[in-house]
Amino acid sequence: MTTTREIQPWRQLAGIVQALVIIGLPFIRTGGESLLRFDVPTLQFHFFGLSLWMDEFFIVLIALIFVAFLILFITLVLGRVWCGWVCPQTVIADFTSFVEKVKNREFYHKLIACSATFMISLVVAANLIWYFVSPYEFIPRLIEGSLGKVVWSFWGIMTGILFLNFILLRQKFCATVCPYARLQSTLFDDRTLTVAFDPRRKDECIDCMACVKTCPVGIDIRDGMNGACIHCAQCVDKCAKVMEGRERKSLVGYFFGLPGQGGRLVRQNAVLLGSVTAAFLVFFMYLLITRPPVEIMVFSDYREIPRLNAKGELSNSFVLTVKNRGREDMDFVVKAGGENMTAEIIQDKILHIKAGEMKRYPVSIKIRGLDRGQPGHEIMITVEPLRGGGGMLTEKAYLIVPEDS
């Protein structure tokens, strides 16, 4: 497949959308929290309207495994599309391309370019922090001058690293530092999407070097696949322009596999990897959808002796544990009941539990009308939210019936 349609405007659009999404996510709030943020003080992970607590991090782990498989799958099918189109390193390197342009110009041009890059690094480093400290907290604290040593230090160090990266390394980062770049070539097969020079048309090349001069990593695509190539397709557009005058298509283009050598697009490894990726996505969605906003557990309280009085009324004690996984404080009413018996909770029946809090609550229950002739008596303890989301939760507990005294 060869294309001569201009690719760079689409790449720039993808870069702008990516930048808006990455900068905007911590600012967009739902239920009072950022769409995506890990809150360090509470160890809560805010994820598109949900707040996951530390003990639910297996859900985050499943999400990370899904993302890892997704990256492997995308790399196998679409090659370095991430690197060339939406990786923040590539996008910011493109936004700061003025650094390259001032290399041979006067000092004050370089100074302006360096200052602009520094400001961009400062914002990018702050944006990174906003995924941990809400921008709605960060910005007022910055204005008040109360950001704190840890945040200031992290911001300063990150700004310095990013600044040096975008001034000195730029696209060389991909070939020298990025571990994903090194992993990619091992994931390619004979149908992976690549940017390649079509060797079948090598006689049409006029050796104008336009594709080489534009390459941000300084390689010659005509020499074949190169691990440093980030698939930015700048060479495709340049060659397309050169070939336009000759009414021919670009000699460089996107190809599934090497030009003229590819196998089947739908192949076993892609189907397998795609299926595993989809399975992890389904599992992750299932965990999110079925995640209970409130969890309860009931245990017998062995510190309290079960009693049976002369009227046949049984007293049993339990420990009720309630975890509020929601973002808001909740009030609950506790009820008890069982088959062929009446059950009355002796102490306060209303529970107030703060967001994210887990409370242990002693529950003493008086039971009347129990048929002691039957073995294995069960009682149902119900926790019902008075306000806030979620339905009733019921847990079974076993009664201990002492011998007649």
Residue window 250-289: x/- pattern of binding to ligand SF4, with contact defined by CB under 6 A: -xx-------------------------------------
Q: Of residues 74, 162, 230, 330, which one binds ligand SF4 by CB under 6 A?
A: 230
Member of 219, 308, 314, 383 binding ligand SF4 (CB under 6 A)? 219
Nearer to ligand SF4, 168 or 208 (CB): 208
Please, which residue, 228 or 400, has the CB nearer to ligand SF4? 228
Using the rule CB under 6 A, is 144 a contact of ligand SF4?
no
206 forms part of the interface with ligand SF4 (CB under 6 A): yes
Q: Which of residues 98-137 bind ligand SF4 (CB under 6 A)?
A: none
Other beta carbons within 10 Å of 36 = 16
**Minimal distance in Å, beta carbon 200 to ligand SF4?**
13
Answer for the pair 208, 220: CB distance below 8 angstroms, yes or no: no
The residue from 50, 221, 273, 308 that contacts ligand SF4 (CB under 6 A) is 221
Sign of the four-CA dihedral 124, 129, 133, 137: negative
x-marked contacts with ligand SF4 along 179-198 as a string, rule CB under 6 A:
----------------x-x-
* Separation of alpha carbons 214 and 6, rounded Å: 15
In this complex, which beta carbon is closest to ligand SF4, that of residue 8 or of residue 394? 8
Q: Which of 210, 294, 343, 379 binds ligand SF4 (CB under 6 A)?
A: 210
Rg (CA), the chain: 31
Using the rule CB under 6 A, which residue among 60, 70, 71, 217 binds ligand SF4? 217
Nearest distance, CB of residue 9 and ligand SF4, angstroms: 16
Record the tokens describing residue 393, joined without a space. Answer: 């939760």
Q: Hey, which residues does 37 pair with through a beta bridge? A: 46
Site for ligand SF4 in 41-100 (CB under 6 A): none
Q: Which residues contact 137 (CB under 8 A, 6 or more apart)?
A: none
Helix (H, G, I), strand (E, B) or coil at 44: strand
Q: Which of 170, 191, 238, 323 binds ligand SF4 (CB under 6 A)?
A: 238
Residues 6+ positions from 394 with CB-CB distance below 8 Å? 380, 381, 382, 383
Please state, in angstroms and as integers, the Cα–Cα distance from residue 50 to each residue in 30, 268, 368, following that order. 9, 36, 43
Q: How far is the CB of 204 from ligand SF4 (least distance, A)?
A: 7
Residue of the chain from 59, 133, 151, 211 that contacts ligand SF4 (CB under 6 A): 211
Q: Name beta bridge partners: 256.
A: 193
d(CA 364, CA 344): 8
Q: Does residue 383 bind ligand SF4 (CB under 6 A)?
A: no
Tell me which of 229, 308, 314, 334 binds ligand SF4, using CB under 6 A.
Answer: 229
Q: How many CB atoms lie within 10 A of CB 221?
A: 21
Q: Quick one: which of 165, 234, 277, 324 contacts ligand SF4 (CB under 6 A)? A: 234
Q: Tokens standing for 302?
A: 């062995």
Query: Cα 147–40–134 angle (5° rounding)?
Result: 55
293, 299, 301, 302 alpha-carbon torsion, rounded to 10°: -160
Q: How far is the CB of 215 from ligand SF4 (least distance, A)?
A: 3
Phi first, then psi, for residue 160 (nearest 5°) are: -60, -45
The residue ranges that bind ligand SF4 (CB under 6 A) are 195, 197, 205-211, 214-217, 219, 221-222, 229-235, 238-239, 242, 251-252
